[in-house]
Amino acid sequence: DIVMTQTPLSSPVTLGQPASISCRSSQSLVHSDGNTYLSWLQQRPGQPPRLLIYKISNRFSGVPDRFSGSGAGTDFTLKISRVEGEDVGVYYCMQATQFPLTFGGGTKVEIK
Amino acid sequence: EVQLVEAGGGLVQPGGSLRLSCTASGFTFSTYWMSWVRQAPGKGLEWVATIKEDGSEKYYVDSVKGRFTISRDNAKNSLYLQMNSLRVDDTAVFYCARGGRQQLLYWGLGTLVTVSS
């Protein structure tokens, strides 16, 4: 199974400042079709998860452009350019390159 | 608008059974892989199972193999999860999600399953 490791566990951020979350996979996420199925999800308090980014860097419909994803192979990053109050929650990376699908442990973004 | 509505959660004793359902709308259900993901209270996300568009392929996390069965009825736009031999550590909110082969694009609100005596 592919293990997804996120850092940090918690990220206190000042409103308007950037935030960055790292995700590392235990093996390459490059699929045999050439794509890398690494996604980022956001879970606000009391809400279901919501897809933010798919295939490393593609923003899903309706996702603000302050969210961006990057990386390759086994190392990936989610960046929030300027944190807003509505960004508070837990962020998960997820790989769908192979079964079983696996998630990172989550990073809690909170306002200082 | 894509909607996924889960139902069927509740309180069940250890060793008991429960059948979850997910009713989909706003998209052509029969053309998408579908998945179940769960979240234990205060914990992270755990993928449970995925089924291909026509039901011909099914995948499960090891901890539920032989106990849970994912299925679908494309005529009813519905996804199911039959859960048998439930254990206390199966207690979780179960989410239905569209996708599973590449990414999980849409998620339902979830249904809570509590396994307790």
Query: Residue B80 and residue A39: Cα distance in Å, rounded?
Result: 25
Q: How confident is the model at residue A75 (pLDDT cuts 50, 70, 90)?
A: very high
Name the minimum distance, in Å, from the CA of B71 to any CA of chain A.
18
pLDDT > 90 in chain B, percent: 98
pLDDT of A49: 98
Question: With bands split at pLDDT 50, 70 and 90, how would you rate the model's confidence at A83?
Answer: very high
**Closest among B81, B98, B94 to B20, alpha carbons compared:** B81
For residue A108 the two structure tokens come to 């809690």
Strand-strand pairing, B111-115 and B10-12: parallel
The percent of residues in chain A predicted with pLDDT above 90, rounded, is 100
Residue A57 is classified by DSSP as T
Exposed/middle/buried for A59, CB within 10 Å: 0-12, 13-18, 19+?
middle
Residue type, A69: G
Average pLDDT, stretch A54-75?
97
Amino acid letter for position B63: S
Backbone angles phi, psi at B92, to 5 degrees: -175, 165
Is it the case that residue B53 has pLDDT exceeding 90?
Answer: yes
Residue B107 with chain A: CB contacts under 8 Å: 48-51
Hey, are the CB atoms on A51 and B102 less than 8 Å from each other? Answer: no
Cα(A72)–Cα(A94) distance, integer angstroms: 14
Nearest CA in chain B to A46: B109
pLDDT (tens digit per residue) in B97-114: 999 889 999 999 999 999
pLDDT band at A91 (very low <50, low <70, confident <90, very high): very high
Q: What is the Cα–Cα distance from B55 to B45, expressed in whole angstroms?
A: 24
User: Is residue B18 a contact partner of residue B116, using CB atoms and an 8 Å limit?
Assistant: no
- Residue B32 in tokens: 């998408």
The confidence score (pLDDT) of residue B101 equals 86
Residue B59 has pLDDT above 90, yes or no: yes
- Percentage of residues in chain A with pLDDT exceeding 70? 100
The string of pLDDT tens digits covering residues A26-63 is 999 999 999 999 999 999 999 999 999 999 999 999 99
| Rounded Cα gap, residues B17 and B82, in angstroms | 8
Most A CBs within 10 Å: which of B27, B102, B109, B111, as the mutation test of the A interface?
B102
- Residue to mutate among A23, A54, A95, A101, with most B CBs inside 10 A, is A101
Distances (CA, A) of B17 to A56, B68, B92: 38, 9, 14
- Kindly report, residue by residue over B68-81, the tens digit of the pLDDT: 999 999 999 999 99
Predicted confidence (pLDDT) per residue in B30-41, tens digit: 999 999 999 999
Structure-block tokens of residue A71: 């990386």
For residue B46, what pLDDT is reported?
98
Q: Encoding tokens for residue B15?
A: 């060793």
- pLDDT of A65 over the 90 cut: yes
